[in-house]
Chain A
Amino acid sequence: AQSVAQPEDQVNVAEGNPLTVKCTYSVSGNPYLFWYVQYPNRGLQFLLKYITGDNLVKGSYGFEAEFNKSQTSFHLKKPSALVSDSALYFCVEGKLIFGQGTELSVKP
Chain B
Amino acid sequence: DGGITQSPKYLFRKEGQNVTLSCEQNLNHDAMYWYRQDPGQGLRLIYYSQIVNDFQKGDIAEGYSVSREKKESFPLTVTSAQKNPTAFYLCASSMTVSNQPQHFGDGTRLSIL
Contact = CB atoms under 8 A, between A and B. Distances in A.
Interface in A24-66: 32, 34, 36, 41-46, 49, 51
Contact of B102 (A41, A42, A46, A101): A46
A100 B48 CA distance: 19
A40 B38 CA distance: 13
Contacts of B48: 96
B41 interface: yes
A35 B98 CA distance: 13
B8 interface: no
A43 B90 CA distance: 7
Contacts, number: 53
A49 B102 CA distance: 11
Classify chain B's interface size: 20 to 34
A49 B98 CA distance: 11
Interface string A62-94: 000000000000000000000000000010001
Query: Which 10 A/B pairs are nearest by Cβ-Cβ distance?
Result: A43-B104, A94-B98, A46-B101, A100-B42, A44-B104, A32-B99, A101-B42, A43-B106, A98-B43, A43-B105
Interface of A: 32, 34, 36, 41-46, 49, 51, 90, 94-96, 98-101
